[in-house]
Homo-oligomer: A and B are copies of this chain.
Amino acid sequence: MSVIPPRGFRLAGVHCGIKRNPAKEDLTLIVADAPAVAAGVYTQNLVFAAPVALDRQRTPSDSIRAILANSGNANACTGQRGLDDARRMTELAAQACDIKPEQVLVLSTGIIGEFLPLAKIEAGANSAAQRLDTDEAAFVAAARGITTTDKSHKMAARVIELSSGLVRISGMAKGAGMIGPRMATMLGILLTDAALAPDDAQQALSWAVDDSFNCISVEGHMSTNDTVLLLASGAASRSALQGADLAAFRQALLEVCTDLARAIPDDGEGASHLITIEVRGCATRADAHRIAKTIAESALVKTAIAGGDPNWGRIVSAAGYAGPQFDPAKVSLAINGHQLYRAGAPVPFDARTVSESIKSARETHVVLELAEGDAGIRFWTSDLTAEYLRINTEYHT
């Protein structure tokens, strides 16, 4: 499936000089031909960046015309000047596209605590506005413009048939660690030509993010800039989706978000494994989430998988300090389909076989079963390798 812009959007990605390498795009401009419905989900970090503060005030909305996003500088921890700079970015995008500043959303990702190079962004916005296009190359350039330490840009799409006709959802994301050498954050942008009421757009996005972007972790360090935006042009139909059409749209949106979310720990800094952690049999989904996240963020679990070691003790003990109450005597665990622990006691297994199943595949699948209820979750994380340490140690402010 090709990832092309849904109808009603034009995109560009350019190099404006924030990144040193001139071959790397660092500024992305996305323009809606007409006012679009917009929804946003943002970091819960108390220390949030200026663009988060600005976008949060402007979503949900029915009149957004553009997103201007830069990589290489997070505009975070920059005080009042940072807020002024984020507002200035909306003015630069508005001038370049002949729209109003209040119709613009902004995204920034990169180093914390430095001020934005506004002259570069102004020139870049004007250049990007000249290159806006509706083809796949434009979408790719835009996806590249938001990357930082990512090994590659991340895209996903679905086309679904609704009663009103075909609807396209195309998304891009970035992220490989909270902070790479001079970089930060997870960002996601979803574009659709579906027509959506602003509240429906916001609800669909919040719901989809909860089971996708909120179920991933590289090292558990929540960024100051995390943002996922959904823009709906409405070009695919005259009236807002309802009923079964809206439900189908939400499901497809979740699929696109899940594809993008999984791609982030899969590209986690230094990662050699994508680890899927399924936690089942919990009293509540929140319990399952907390247990899965605690397992996913244990350096001991992550190093065990990196080493190809089916160390179930590290996983079970991480569940035990996650917080939710459960009966340890009813816990079972499987890795890659091999049962290692059942009803609170070890099961004899061939360590070499299980180790080989970890080493020979990019993905490792952990299933932890409790006996407290019917709630469960899937969570994705990366393993922890010497390369992660190299990336995050060998940097100097």
Contact = CB atoms under 8 A, between A and B. Distances in A.
Interface of A: 44-48, 76-79, 111-114, 177-179, 184, 219-224, 298-300, 303-304, 306-314, 316-321, 325-326, 328-329, 331, 341, 344-346, 351, 355, 384-386, 388-390, 392-397
B320 A351 contact: no
Contacts of A76: 313, 317
Contact of A325 (B46, B320, B384): B46
B221 A303 contact: no
A46 B326 contact: yes
A103 to B, nearest CB: 28
Contacts of A386: 386, 389-390, 393
A331 B46 CA distance: 11
A396 B310 CA distance: 8
Nearest to A394: B307
A111 B79 CA distance: 49
Contacts of A311: 179, 395, 397
A39 to B, nearest CB: 23
5 contacts: A47-B317, A78-B346, A178-B314, A307-B396, A351-B397
Among A79, A320, A355, chain B packs the most CB atoms within 10 A around the CB of A320
A44 B317 CA distance: 11
Chain A interface SS verdict (over half): loop
A112 B393 contact: no
A325 B310 CA distance: 39
Given A77-B341, A300-B177, A346-B78, A313 B113 contact: yes
Given A320-B48, A386-B389, A77 B178 contact: no
Contacts of A385: 389, 393
Nearest to A343: B79
B345 A392 contact: no
Contact of A317 (B45, B345, B394): B45
Contacts of A326: 46
A12 B47 CA distance: 53
Contact of A222 (B48, B317, B390): B317
Given A313-B113, A314-B179, A384 B395 contact: no
A219 B346 contact: no
A79 B221 contact: no
Contacts of A178: 300, 314, 317
Given A312-B113, A397-B351, A46 B307 contact: no
A275 B77 CA distance: 23
B392 A320 contact: no
A33 to B, nearest CB: 37
A309 B396 contact: yes
B309 A219 contact: no
A147 to B, nearest CB: 19
A389 B346 contact: no
A299 to B, nearest CB: 4
Given A46-B320, A184-B313, 17 more contacts: A46-B325, A46-B326, A46-B328, A47-B328, A77-B313, A79-B344, A113-B313, A179-B300, A179-B313, A221-B314, A307-B392, A309-B393, A311-B397, A355-B396, A385-B393, A386-B386, A389-B389
